Amino acid sequence: MSDASLSGLRPGDTPSSSPVTRFAALRREIASPSLSFLMEAHDGLSAKIVQEAGFRGIWASGLTTSASLGLRDSNEASWTQVLDVLEYMADATTLPILVDGDTGHGNFNNVRRFVRKLCERGIAGVCIEDKLFPKTNSFIGEAQPLADVDEFCGRIKAGKDSQTDDDFTLVARVEALISGQGMEEALRRAEAYHRAGADAILIHSKKADADEIFTFAERWAGRAPLVIVPTMYYATPTELFRQAGISTIIWANHLLRASITAMRETAARIHEDQSLVRVEGSVATVKDIFRLVGNAELEEAERRYLPARPAPGAIVLAASGGEMGGLTLDQPKCMLDIRGQSLLQRLVGTLRESGVRDVTVVRGYRKETVSLQGIRTLDNDRHAETGEAWSLACAREAIRGETIIAYGDVLFRRYILDSLLTSSADVVVAVDTLGAQPRPGKRDLVAADRRFSGDYLDDRPAHLRLMAHEVAPGELCGEWMGLARFTARGAEWLREEIAAMEMEGLLEGADLPALLTRIATKHPVRVKYFTGHWLDVDTLTDLAEARNFT
């Protein structure tokens, strides 16, 4: 979104030296001779989405706000509950908000207090309708009773007298056409509300065509800005509203309706499949949620305000060539292309997203091809005759302080790494519960003192007993993902065990499962269970899956 949009400027406006307030921005939208659009939102996240889409204003719908709370649109949500939602919306966006104020939540006195509280929270305007409290949604039933004209004018005057910003906008919503009282009554009420001080008139209709809207607009003749809500007559071309001199169109409830459809489909599919496989690629990523709610700003603030702690380092073991046919003749597996990035680059990117900046990669096969900006490389020139533990020993100088150990041919979602980083254990390994039914081939299988219970809220710790390529079926708990985290104390244990294996003559041929099992006989090694969301790239099929892994 452009700076002009954020400041409330419309195309062609000239920026002034002082920023435009949200109150002034909404008034400019409503009063402009060109057609404006307000998009419905019902909470902080949907408000962010409205701004991201490029709209210049938000309609805080009473229907969708109530529905998002699981309540009916009949003033079941109190005005203080509505204010709480509005405060989150105002904090989440820089856009001006016009709130659906229903009837004003009571008589003139309720309107006075409501308007003052809206102004305190930076809500730029309110729309109140000429019906009785508690209200009933306009699309339910027929011939709903309307407020007395003079009494409703008193509500308008009370609202205008109570605003604390001169640019606060009060829109009077005329329900005469909805209630079947006809065009003359609609015009009579609109004129009275205009004289009482309403800044704009919202004329409402539930017919499938816009004929009575156009008739009203023609007879109204631009005496005040005219706002419409074409929920029922949505097929009318927008250009006809421009020609009719409509000021503002409110798209009143479509974000919530769209989310209901998507949530129903997703919930039904997960219930049917008892799996996330079919839905994971079609829904927004967790990373997108983090972006929308501003995690990056929080991370920057943490760097500014929290005491600095040593950043964790990582050692990536990428010395083996891998058996991928012709693809690995001239380069190791870690350098295979995954949609424009090497496998190693994708892995290092995930590490850096979690704050792991100091990355050491142990190279071996075709080591000259293993290159990536910002990493340090060490070489295992005996990669053809040694195992993973020897490669790790080549980087023992980098095992200091908090350390991540990862295979160079794995991909995993960031939340898995974040979970390891926030663990209180000195050594913690990421284990896939699906490993209880291991895939064909050589796998790092795990036996622990407690299996995954199936409940992710179950925080009882599990500890490693054995990690090997073969585990008795009755003891099998999962498959290691090739990802482990060590605190400074855990890193000291790791260095000690590498040295012990070297002294015993066992280091050269040992793999990481053997090393981790030895540590587990002396110190607690926490098992952290996950289900899916990672990939070990061992075959051409795995490589194809990696290109769809996000």
Q: Give the residue numbers marked as catalytic.
A: 73
Q: Quote the crossing angle between the two packed helices 108-120 and 149-162, to the nearest 10°.
A: 30
Question: Residue 485 pairs with which residues in a beta bridge?
Answer: 404, 428
Burial class of residue 234 in the structure, from the number of CB atoms within 10 Å of its CB (0-12 exposed, 13-18 middle, 19+ buried): exposed
Residue indicated by tokens 């102004």: 119
d(CA 253, CA 175): 18
Count CA atoms closer than 13 A to 468's CA, side-chain side. Answer: 12
d(CA 447, CA 456): 19
CA angle (544, 546, 548) in 5-degree steps: 85
CB 430 within 8 A of CB 443: no
Residue 99 CA: distances (Å) to CA of 170, 172, 211, 225: 10, 12, 27, 17
d(CA 206, CA 20): 36
Instruction: Provide the 3-class DSSP secondary structure of residue 245.
Output: coil
- Taking alpha carbons only, the member of 145, 160, 131 closest to residue 73 is 131
d(CA 121, CA 60): 14
Residue 264, token pair as written in the block:
């129903």
d(CA 213, CA 94): 32
Cβ-proximal residues to 361 (8 Å cutoff; 6+ apart), any chain: 315, 316, 318, 334, 344, 348, 370, 372, 375, 376, 377, 378, 408
CB 420 within 8 A of CB 430: yes
- Taking alpha carbons only, the member of 388, 417, 438, 448 closest to residue 534 is 417
What is the secondary structure of 54-82 as a DSSP string?
T-S-EEE-HHHHHHHTT--TTT-S-HHHH
- Taking alpha carbons only, the member of 388, 363, 382 closest to residue 498 is 388
Per-residue b or e along 474-493, where b marks 16 or more CB atoms closer than 10 Å to that residue's CB: eebbbbbbbbbbbbeebbbb
- Taking alpha carbons only, the member of 196, 240, 197, 247 closest to residue 220 is 247
SS (HEC) of 302-341: HHHHCCCCCCCEEEEEECCCCCCHHHHCCCCHHHCEECCE
